[in-house]
Structure 1
Amino acid sequence: MNPRLNTIAMIVSDMDASMAFYARLGLEFTIDPRSPEHAGCDLPGGPHVMLDTEKFRTPFLPGWSAPGGGPRTLLCFEFDTPAGVDAKYAELVAAGHRGIAEPFDAFWGMRYATVADPDGSGVDLYAALPAR
């Protein structure tokens, strides 16, 4: 049997800031009643996303330290229209989040932009461009 990817875990430094950021993208996390350092969100279709604070996760990851440089993994959010990408990018940047790539029309036929979440992880925003 092949394993199934069904959960994405992200280590965050500030649970409240991370939950607020992802709420702007439609993800509603619930704090685990057994630990305020762990939260989860079920996505449509079955995947689950978890937020774990550094304090919660580091005992299980000996030698872990926050990565430096640019993001290695990005969460990607699809929008219905290119205008939706532009509007969400503007909203997130106006709320104080760092823009990594301003909205642009990519050669592969999508409107694309990237912002950083509160811990610097990349979050892509994209929508298909109208057929020409």
Structure 2
Amino acid sequence: MAVSATDLSRAIAFYEVLGFRFPPLEPDALHVEAEAGIRLMIDAASLIEQLTGEPPTPGGAPGFALLYDSPAEVDEVAGRVAAAGYGVATPPWDAPWGQRYATVVDPDGYSVDLFCPLP
């Protein structure tokens, strides 16, 4: 999964709230990848514009979902996102399809769903 960011440091701070870990950011970096089993890549918006000729838009890339171990963890992560000043588009709720579900929004407008199966 790759997202673009107008500010790599700000994007890294958001995704760290979700549990991702990153190597130290180099001063002139235009790309960084999370140190985890999942591959989350964050590219500077300026790099995407250089590669494609157009500025990136959140609607131009898919959102993604993160599976957590418990409903309490979904609630806790959504709470951390809100406490850190980031957007919570859909607060945690028990979805009719049998999952605890929430949607948060990164600093550049990408949606990230947080979920886990209900007991």
TM-score past 0.5 threshold: yes
Name the structure with the higher helix share.
2
Measured in 2, the distance between the counterparts of 1:32 and 1:84 equals 28
* 1:24 equivalent among 17, 23, 46: 17
| Structure 2 unmatched ranges of 5 or more | none
Alignment partner, residue 67 of structure 1: 57
* 1:53 equivalent among 27, 44, 66: 44
Runs of 4+, deviation exceeding 3 Å? 31-35
Measured in 2, the distance between the counterparts of 1:71 and 1:102 equals 24
* 1:105 equivalent among 94, 115, 119: 94
Alignment partner, residue 5 of structure 1: none
Amino acid at match of 1:19: I
- Root mean square deviation, CA, Å: 2.2
Name the structure with the higher strand share.
1
Measured in 2, the distance between the counterparts of 1:32 and 1:21 equals 14
The number of equivalent residue pairs is 119
Alignment partner, residue 67 of structure 2: 78
Q: Relative CO higher for 1 or 2, CA cutoff 8 Å, sep ≥ 6? A: 2
Task: Answer with 1 or 2: which has the greater Rg.
Answer: 1
| Structure 1 unmatched ranges of 5 or more | 1-7
| Percent identity for Structure 1 against Structure 2 | 33
Q: Spell out, residue by residue over 1:67-106, the C-alpha distance to the aligned partner (whole angstroms, 9 max, x if none).
A: 37x6862221111110111111111011111111111111
Measured in 2, the distance between the counterparts of 1:60 and 1:124 equals 28
